[in-house]
Amino acid sequence: MNKPVREHIDLIKTTITRLEREMEKLKDPVELLKTEADLRSLRLALMHYELALQIEHEVIETRSARGVKGFVANQNN
């Protein structure tokens, strides 16, 4: 977890793409189910990160609109 959130998002997207390609080639039904579960987990993580960035952005915008300055990660106030 030492990477910036955007790097995690890129890594998750890349992994999802790779697993989707692998799934097309899988013959073992058990491995197919495991891969589908992995994809669901990764998609959930991706939604989590994207929503977290959206919430952070909305908080910063709202605080700025109110003229409030304060500590927010990666912002110099």
Longest dimension (CA), the chain: 59
Instruction: Name the residue ranges covered by the structural domains of the chain.
Output: 5-65
Q: Give 3-59 pLDDT, tens digit per residue.
A: 688 898 999 999 999 999 999 999 999 999 999 999 999 999 999 999 988 888 888
Which residues 6+ apart lie within 8 Å of 45 measured at CB?
12
Read off the pTM: 0.73
Relative orientation angle of helices 29-65 and 5-25, to the nearest 10 degrees: 160
Distance CA 7, CA 53 (A): 12
Q: What are phi and psi of 72, to 5 degrees?
A: -135, 135
C-alpha to C-alpha distance for 63 and 71, rounded to whole angstroms: 11
